[in-house]
Amino acid sequence: PKEREKTAYHEAGHLIALYILHPTDDVFKASIIPRRGTLGIVHHQPREEVFTYDKNRLLADVKADLAGYVAEKMKFGTTSSGVAMDFKQAMSIAHSMVWKYGMADKSFLGDYTSIPEGQISEKLKEELNEETGKIFQQCLKDVDELLSRERVVIDRFAKELLDKEELDYDEIDAIFKEYGKFGMSKGV
């Protein structure tokens, strides 16, 4: 029961960050039914076909990935190994933003991953990694602020997931509207 509750809060965190912060995707299902090695999942998809991702979308992806961790930590004071894949995805996106896409605060233009290992200085690697860390930490701060404000909504979604195990888009949307919350595409 404790692991199931932790999963419900974890998925509620993802769900809230995706619904409220994501500029291109809608949440269409949340589940705490274990499948294929995961204890829960929040399914989302773009509202329209997208072939390239801008900085806002990538930052929203990082924030959504980190939201399960933040929700677990807020509720239980600690987290679980269930955050490993989320961290991997979030760090990979932040890394690509800096190392490949020129989306750092500093002007690092170019794909630094294409430079052979021995030809990039340690100083430059450190600077690129610092910028990656800044993105990661800013996203973590933003999600922490969001979920702190939305604590009542997190509790509600966790309870709904514990009661029903799965929520579809209409159920998710109705609960957000009940609390006067609207996603990026719904007139925030």
With H, G, I as helix, E, B as strand and everything else as coil, classify residue 45.
strand
d(CA 139, CA 175): 25
Query: Which secondary structure element, helix H or strand E, spans residue 111, and what is its range?
Result: none
11, 72, 131, 160: the active-site residue: 11
Catalytic (active site) residue 178: no
Q: Which residue has the tokens 């961790």?
A: 69
Phi-psi region of 36 (alpha: psi -120 to 50; beta: other; left: phi over 0): left
Q: Which residue has the tokens 């029903």?
A: 164
Q: Which residue has the tokens 């900085």?
A: 55
Sheet holding 166-168, edge to edge: 41-46, 25-31, 166-168
Please tell me the number of Cα atoms within 13 Å of 83 on its side-chain side.
Answer: 21
Q: Which residue has the tokens 């709904």?
A: 160
Query: Which residues are catalytically annotated?
Result: 11
